[in-house]
């Protein structure tokens, strides 16, 4: 892999409280390389206008660029066609779109929706809302205390299930779920499958045709791209059958006061002016990732995870939550009686950006009987020096509370 990737991220040269920034909050959001920043700035400075409805030069040119990012995204996920890529505001909006629109298409009173015990709130709450709306029931596939799903029990959860929605990688435990066999089993029972890929796409190669899922969703900002843009991949026939999520401009073929004809997917799901500049930024992020190569990145992060877990395990009083056999570089831990928020504050004073709290996954905290964890999560630009600073900051924290 290319070295000194950190040099491509201007923010990483900042000092925080007199210390070099050690950015280990990548599961919340990654920093942006110059390539993304410059692509967005260039767009705003030289190329900007609204898209899709202009006959003028700028509008036509930017529409082409926007459509090219759709094609790039389709290639990135190995989708069969760019028409299967819907741009959303992010993972949360994509899951809400599915819960509402796919829910309306598929769910009737007495039906079931299956999720897992390690979902982000974004893959829980929309389904609770949909279940209330359509009279369906929400089921939860349990996990063990290593943070591995009880896949041997999967079959016993499938009766009456219409929709199965699961995270590819847990944002708290790092577990890489064995989604391909689960999708295959669900599919054999006629169940529609959704994968929340928010924590996966920036860390391992994803091929939606190989996975054979019906939907796959992610956010731009966790993949070195900007906020306010996300992706919903959907099998075309399903996108075609689904009712629109929002109405407005851009999603129609014709409107009269009596009747509206909707545009075909993906535009049917992109009502209103889309996040144009952010989509351009997302395109640059995908190119940046492609240049590095996800297999290289996965190997780099796996090394960092093993090194960091070993170093943290050597310290007394560190409990790591999430010990799945297949794991991404997300390390949640606690320091005995030291409250994670106190630890996070002390670590911040040393220039460390880690996440403390429930990480939008309160049921996981409840499962382990803890209020919160400290989470260190790694990305392309992290290295062994970051791990050394993490370990030093943990020791400092422990010494202060000793």
Ligand X SMILES: *Cc1c(COP(=O)(O)O)cnc(C)c1O
Tell me which residues are annotated as active site.
360
For residue 213, the SS3 value is coil
Q: Residue 120, interface with ligand X (CB under 6 A)?
A: yes
Q: Residue 199, interface with ligand X (CB under 6 A)?
A: yes
Please answer whether residues 131 and 108 qualify as being in contact, where contact means their C-beta atoms are separated by less than 8 angstroms: no
Please identify which residue in 22, 30, 219, 334 interacts with ligand X, judged by CB under 6 A: 219
Q: Token pair for residue 251?
A: 């999603």
- Name the nearest CA neighbour of 268 among 244, 292, 237: 244
Please identify which residue in 22, 91, 116, 334 interacts with ligand X, judged by CB under 6 A: 91
C-alpha span between 333 and 146 (Å, rounded)? 13
* Number of other residues whose CB lies within 10 A of the CB of residue 337: 8
Binding segment toward ligand X, per CB under 6 A, in 132-140, 195-203, 261-269, 296-304: 195-203
Total number of residues shown for the chain: 402
Q: Residue 377, interface with ligand X (CB under 6 A)?
A: no
Angle (CA) 101 160 182, round 5° = 80
Q: Residue 167, interface with ligand X (CB under 6 A)?
A: yes
Least distance from C-beta 121 to ligand X, angstroms? 8
Please answer whether residues 215 and 91 qualify as being in contact, where contact means their C-beta atoms are separated by less than 8 angstroms: no
Mention every residue, 6+ apart, whose C-beta is less than 8 A from residue 306.
none
Size of the site for ligand X (CB under 6 A): 14
- Name the nearest CA neighbour of 67 among 52, 79, 45: 52
Binding segment toward ligand X, per CB under 6 A, in 148-156, 219-227, 278-286, 385-393: 219-227
Please identify which residue in 196, 278, 301, 309 interacts with ligand X, judged by CB under 6 A: 196
Peptide bond into 266 cis (omega under 30): yes
Least distance from C-beta 186 to ligand X, angstroms? 19
Please identify which residue in 198, 232, 276, 312 interacts with ligand X, judged by CB under 6 A: 198
Q: Residue 92, interface with ligand X (CB under 6 A)?
A: yes
Mention every residue, 6+ apart, whose C-beta is less than 8 A from residue 258.
none
Residues within window 239-278 making contact with ligand X, judged by CB under 6 A:
none
Q: Residue 282, interface with ligand X (CB under 6 A)?
A: no
Which CB sits closer to ligand X, 138 or 311?
138
Which CB sits closer to ligand X, 158 or 198?
198
C-alpha span between 253 and 251 (Å, rounded)? 7
Binding segment toward ligand X, per CB under 6 A, in 191-199, 246-254, 310-318, 330-338: 191-199
Which CB sits closer to ligand X, 368 or 401?
368
Q: Residue 90, interface with ligand X (CB under 6 A)?
A: yes
Please answer whether residues 202 and 212 qualify as being in contact, where contact means their C-beta atoms are separated by less than 8 angstroms: no
Chain contacts with ligand X (rule: CB under 6 A): 90-92, 120, 122-123, 167, 171, 196, 198-199, 219, 221-222
């Amino acid at each position: 892999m290319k070295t000194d990737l950190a040099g491509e991220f201007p923010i990483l040269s900042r000092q925080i409280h007199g210390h070099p920034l050690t950015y280990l909050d990548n599961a919340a959001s990654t920093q942006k390389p110059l390539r993304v920043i410059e692509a967005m700035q260039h767009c705003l400075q030289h190329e900007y206008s609204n898209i899709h409805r202009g006959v003028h030069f700028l509008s036509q040119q930017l529409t082409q660029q926007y459509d090219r990012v759709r094609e790039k995204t389709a290639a990135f996920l190995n989708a069969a066609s760019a028409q299967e890529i819907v741009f959303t505001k992010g993972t949360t909006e994509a899951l809400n779109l599915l819960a509402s629109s796919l829910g309306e298409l598929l769910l009737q009173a007495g039906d079931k929706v299956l999720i897992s015990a390690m979902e982000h709130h974004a893959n829980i709450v929309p389904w609770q809302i949909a279940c209330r709306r359509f009279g369906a029931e929400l089921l939860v596939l349990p996990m063990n205390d290593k943070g591995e799903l009880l896949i041997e029990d999967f079959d016993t959860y499938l009766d009456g299930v219409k929709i199965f929605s699961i995270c590819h990688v847990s944002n708290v435990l790092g577990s890489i779920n064995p989604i391909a066999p689960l999708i295959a089993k669900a599919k054999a029972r006629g169940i529609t499958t959704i994968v929340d890929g928010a924590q996966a796409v920036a860390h391992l190669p994803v091929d939606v045709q190989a996975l054979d899922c019906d939907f796959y969703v992610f956010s731009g900002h966790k993949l070195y791209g900007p906020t306010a843009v996300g992706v919903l991949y959907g099998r075309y026939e399903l996108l075609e059958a689904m009712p629109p999520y929002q109405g407005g401009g851009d999603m129609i073929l014709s409107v009269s006061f009596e009747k509206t004809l909707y545009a075909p997917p993906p535009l049917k799901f992109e009502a209103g002016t889309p996040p144009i500049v952010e989509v351009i930024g997302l395109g640059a992020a995908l190119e940046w990732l492609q240049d590095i190569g996800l297999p290289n990145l996965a190997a780099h992060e796996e090394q960092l995870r093993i090194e960091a877990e070993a170093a943290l395990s050597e310290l007394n009083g560190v409990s790591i939550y999430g010990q799945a056999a297949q794991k991404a570089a997300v390390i949640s831990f606690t320091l005995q009686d030291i409250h994670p928020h106190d630890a996070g504050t002390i670590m911040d004073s040393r220039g460390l950006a880690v996440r403390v709290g429930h990480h939008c996954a309160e049921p996981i905290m409840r499962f382990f009987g803890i209020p919160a964890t400290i989470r260190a999560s790694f990305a392309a630009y992290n290295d062994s020096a970051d791990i050394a600073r993490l370990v030093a900051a943990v020791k400092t924290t422990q010494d202060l509370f000793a």
